[in-house]
Amino acid sequence: MEKTYVIQLSELDLVQILAGLESQAELWERTRDYLESGELDYNDGFIIAECSKLEEAIAIANYYRSILNKIQNQMDSR
Protein backbone atom coordinates (compact mmCIF):
# COMPACT_ATOMS: atom_id res chain seq x y z
CA MET A 1 0.00 0.00 0.00
CA GLU A 2 1.24 3.46 -0.91
CA LYS A 3 2.00 5.82 1.97
CA THR A 4 0.23 9.16 2.25
CA TYR A 5 1.83 12.20 3.85
CA VAL A 6 0.45 15.38 5.34
CA ILE A 7 2.95 18.18 4.86
CA GLN A 8 2.59 21.75 6.05
CA LEU A 9 4.12 24.43 3.84
CA SER A 10 3.86 28.17 3.58
CA GLU A 11 1.79 29.53 0.72
CA LEU A 12 4.97 30.81 -0.95
CA ASP A 13 6.56 27.34 -0.76
CA LEU A 14 3.44 25.78 -2.21
CA VAL A 15 3.32 28.29 -5.07
CA GLN A 16 6.94 27.43 -5.92
CA ILE A 17 6.17 23.71 -5.94
CA LEU A 18 3.15 24.28 -8.17
CA ALA A 19 5.26 26.33 -10.59
CA GLY A 20 7.81 23.53 -10.83
CA LEU A 21 5.13 20.91 -11.39
CA GLU A 22 3.46 23.11 -14.01
CA SER A 23 6.77 23.45 -15.84
CA GLN A 24 7.26 19.68 -15.86
CA ALA A 25 3.68 19.09 -17.02
CA GLU A 26 4.21 21.51 -19.90
CA LEU A 27 7.52 19.84 -20.80
CA TRP A 28 5.84 16.46 -21.09
CA GLU A 29 2.82 17.87 -22.93
CA ARG A 30 5.17 19.46 -25.46
CA THR A 31 7.01 16.16 -25.75
CA ARG A 32 3.69 14.39 -26.32
CA ASP A 33 2.72 16.94 -28.99
CA TYR A 34 6.08 16.53 -30.73
CA LEU A 35 5.83 12.74 -30.74
CA GLU A 36 2.31 12.97 -32.18
CA SER A 37 3.03 15.54 -34.89
CA GLY A 38 6.78 15.38 -35.47
CA GLU A 39 6.81 19.18 -35.39
CA LEU A 40 8.44 21.48 -32.86
CA ASP A 41 8.31 25.26 -32.65
CA TYR A 42 11.92 26.25 -32.12
CA ASN A 43 11.06 29.96 -31.89
CA ASP A 44 9.80 29.83 -28.30
CA GLY A 45 12.94 28.17 -26.89
CA PHE A 46 10.99 25.35 -25.28
CA ILE A 47 12.63 21.95 -25.21
CA ILE A 48 11.21 18.44 -25.10
CA ALA A 49 12.02 15.60 -22.73
CA GLU A 50 14.22 12.70 -23.70
CA CYS A 51 11.54 10.21 -24.70
CA SER A 52 10.73 8.22 -27.81
CA LYS A 53 7.44 6.59 -26.81
CA LEU A 54 4.21 8.54 -27.16
CA GLU A 55 2.46 6.45 -24.51
CA GLU A 56 5.19 7.25 -21.98
CA ALA A 57 4.97 10.99 -22.64
CA ILE A 58 1.18 10.90 -22.28
CA ALA A 59 1.37 8.96 -19.01
CA ILE A 60 3.98 11.26 -17.49
CA ALA A 61 2.15 14.44 -18.56
CA ASN A 62 -1.07 13.07 -17.07
CA TYR A 63 0.73 12.15 -13.85
CA TYR A 64 2.05 15.70 -13.38
CA ARG A 65 -1.41 17.13 -14.08
CA SER A 66 -2.88 14.70 -11.56
CA ILE A 67 -0.48 15.88 -8.86
CA LEU A 68 -1.27 19.51 -9.67
CA ASN A 69 -5.01 18.82 -9.47
CA LYS A 70 -4.69 17.08 -6.11
CA ILE A 71 -2.77 19.99 -4.62
CA GLN A 72 -5.11 22.58 -6.15
CA ASN A 73 -8.18 20.75 -4.85
CA GLN A 74 -6.71 20.68 -1.36
CA MET A 75 -5.90 24.39 -1.55
CA ASP A 76 -9.42 25.18 -2.76
CA SER A 77 -11.01 23.22 0.08
CA ARG A 78 -9.29 25.33 2.77
Is residue 18 included in any domain, yes or no? yes
pTM: 0.86
Task: Tell me which long-range contacts 64-69 makes (C-beta under 8 A, separation of at least 24).
Answer: 64/21, 64/24, 64/25, 64/28, 65/25, 67/21, 68/18, 68/21, 68/22, 68/25
Is residue 1 included in any domain, yes or no? no
Query: What is the total count of domains within the chain?
Result: 1
- Alpha helices (H) in the chain, listed in sequence order: 11-37, 54-76
pLDDT digits (tens, 9 = 90+) for 21-74: 999 999 999 999 999 998 887 777 778 899 999 999 999 999 999 999 999 999
What is the pLDDT, as a whole number, of residue 43?
A: 74
Is residue 32 included in any domain, yes or no? yes
Is residue 15 included in any domain, yes or no? yes
> For residue 15, what are the domain limits?
11-76
Is residue 54 included in any domain, yes or no? yes
pLDDT digits (tens, 9 = 90+) for 6-17: 899 999 999 999
